Amino acid sequence: MSAETSHPVLPARPDWQWHLGVVAFLVVWWLVYQQLIPFSEWVTALFPIDRHSHTGEAIAFFFYDVPKVMMLLTLIVFAMGVVRTWFSPEKTRALLSGKREGVGNVMSAGLGILTPFCSCSAVPLFIGFVSAGVPLGVTFSFLIAAPMVNEVALVLLFGLVGWQVAVTYLAFGLGIAIVAGFVIGKLRLEGWLQDWVRDIHSGANTPVVGEDEPLTMINRYALGIEAVREIFGKVWIWIILGIGMGALIHGYVPEDLMVRIMGAEAWWSVPAAVVMGVPMYTNAAGVIPIVEALLGKGAALGTVLAFMMSVIALSLPEMIILRQVLTLRLIAVFVGVVASGILAVGFLFNLIF
């Protein structure tokens, strides 16, 4: 059985024009990006308020961060959209099936970043992996990494907090996915899948969707543009709301309040952040501007990262979806293992920084 992928149709033009177009876009992007600070100062000056008042600070923050984040997102989402065209769940499954634990977990977490993934497909993907002989723990590494370490989160951290924090988040996000998947694999919980999933597993009768016809570079550009459109449609409102919230915190929340609540001295702040984060469900875009502003006001980095990871990686809606294939016991283990990993990262960070 074979399935054709849709190749978005771009207006017919010679290839070199498309390549040139991409280069021109990059140049213009860079030139505009350089002008963001003057732009935000210019906009802020239009408001009849003192630049150095709370309101002035908040406005300048908002008009600098919103365009900056939007531009970074456009660039990175496009790039990732193009890169992901070389990957698919089917190829990833083929790479992972029969892999030993350990190596498999590392590969799986890495592929979790690169493979196109939507949480609404978590169940068929889970079954597709497990039924093709990808070990359960390796499958979990994928399912933890794919939502947690995503380009939107990384761009926002990079743009709003700094590249060091973005790199650290990437490293520890992958680390949690690898270790948690490894631990779940070691616990041998295959028997805790829902019965019907085990039947498919043992039946091994799943037909394989065949290789797609090769994409041209132009198809890949088109898919990249498609990704930008899709992600923007989903997150723009969250970015504006989030940065708006961030601007308010930036301008108004007293510094010592956050230090007291979320500073490194309060040991209970990390578990509290995780407990608060789990029922919250938003995408990275909604949470990160708040994260940045909290950090600016003295909240401890570990606490804030733990909060962010638990919001993104452990969400109630995803658990409800996974309930179809996992028993409650298995979901509890999954949440327990991942939450422990996040706690460890939170404490470690507060200790180091």
Partner 1 sequence: MEIKVLGAGCAKCKTTAAQITSIASQLGVDVTVTKVEDMAVIVSHGIMSTPGVLIDGKLVHVGSVPDRAQIEAWLSAA
CB of 310 to partner 1, least distance (A): 24
The smaller minimum CB distance to partner 1, of residues 130 and 160, is found at 130
Contact characters 35-64, partner 1, x per CB under 8 A: ------------------------------
> With CB under 8 A, what is the number of residues at the site for partner 1?
33
159 token code pair: 């743009």
Shortest distance (Å) from residue 83 CB to partner 1: 16
Q: What is the DSSP letter of 69?
A: H
Helix (H, G, I), strand (E, B) or coil at 38: helix
Distances from the Cα of 118 to the Cα of 108, 153, 322, angstroms: 16, 15, 13
**121: contact with partner 1 by CB under 8 A:** yes
Site for partner 1 in 276-335 (CB under 8 A): 324-325
Q: What is the DSSP letter of 326?
A: B
Give the separation between CA 77 and CA 224, rounded to whole angstroms.
Answer: 7
What string marks each residue from 192 to 231 as x (binds partner 1 by CB under 8 A) or -? ----x---x----xxxxx----------------------
> Under 8 Å CB-to-CB from 87, ≥6 apart: which residues?
111, 114, 115, 116
Query: Phi/psi of residue 81, each to 5°?
Result: -60, -40
Q: Which is nearer to partner 1, 81 or 289 (CB)?
A: 81
Q: From CA 244, how far away is CA 234, in angstroms rounded?
A: 17
Determine, following the binding rule CB under 8 A, whether residue 123 of this chain makes contact with partner 1.
yes
Query: Of the two residues 63 and 129, which places its CB atom closer to partner 1 in the complex?
Result: 129
Quote the CA–CA distance of 105 and 121 in Å, as a whole number.
20
CB 351 within 8 A of CB 303: no
Q: Output 68 or 93, the one with its CB closest to partner 1.
A: 93
Q: Give the up-direction half-sphere exposure of residue 163: CA atoms within 13 A in the CB hemisphere.
A: 1
Query: What's the min distance (Å) between Cβ of 287 and partner 1?
Result: 21
- What is the nearest approach in angstroms of partner 1 to the Cβ of residue 335? 21
Cβ–Cβ < 8 Å for 37, 116 = no
Piece of the chain touching partner 1 by CB under 8 A; list 5-13, 153-161, 162-170, 260-268:
5-13
Query: From the CB of 6, what's the least distance to partner 1, in Å?
Result: 5
Look-up: residue for tokens 């409800």? Answer: 320
Residues forming the site for partner 1 (CB under 8 A): 1-6, 8-9, 88-90, 93, 116-118, 120-121, 123-125, 127-129, 131, 196, 200, 205-209, 324-325
